[in-house]
Structure 1
Amino acid sequence: MAEYEWQRVAREIEQEIRSGRIPPGGALMGIVRMAEHYGVADRTVRRALQDLRERGLIETLPHKGSFVADPLP
């Protein structure tokens, strides 16, 4: 089954979290920077972050950014 781009981005971010490259409480890149890094549109990154939030892997604070959940589920 084909994977949507947002799923690929979410999977890659999750791998960085699970491997410890982004530790619990660590900040993720901003949306624009992530879009450039993964070669996708801003809305694709937003959808990936939504998925990660729904699964409890990250928390997003208004005007602050997204951070790895501490503790991880």
Structure 2
Amino acid sequence: MAEYEWQRVAREISADIDSGRIPPGGALPSIVRLAEQYGVADHTIRRALRELRERGLIETLPHKGSYVLGDETPGQGV
């Protein structure tokens, strides 16, 4: 079965999170930068980020961006 582009992007970002390349609390690049990096449209990035949020890997804060969930995630209590 073929993989949708948003699934590929979500898989690659997830791999970066799992490997520690993007650490807990680390910010993901902006939607525009991710779209350029992966060579896809911004709506594809938004769908991939939604998938990662649903899987509990990231949190998106309004007007601040998306962050990897973990001990140092912005917005979590100290």
Query: What range describes the TM-score normalised by the shorter chain of this pair?
Result: over 0.9
Q: CA deviation at 1:30?
A: 0.1
TM-score, structure 2 as length reference: 0.90
Calculate percent identity across the aligned residue pairs: 77
2:2 alignment partner, SS class: coil
User: Counterpart in 2 of 1:17?
Assistant: 17
Q: Distance in 1 between matches of 2:10 and 2:22?
A: 14
Partner SS state of residue 52, structure 1:
helix
Residues paired across the two proteins, number: 71
Report SS of the residue matched to 2:36.
Answer: helix
Deviation string for 1:15-39 (max 9, x for gaps)? Answer: 0000000000000000000000000
Partner of 2:4: 4
Larger radius of gyration: 2
What is the 5 A alignment of 1:1-73? 1-71=1-71
2:61 is matched by which residue type in structure 1? L
Pairwise CA RMSD of aligned residues?
0.6
Q: What are structure 1's unaligned runs of at least 5 residues?
A: none
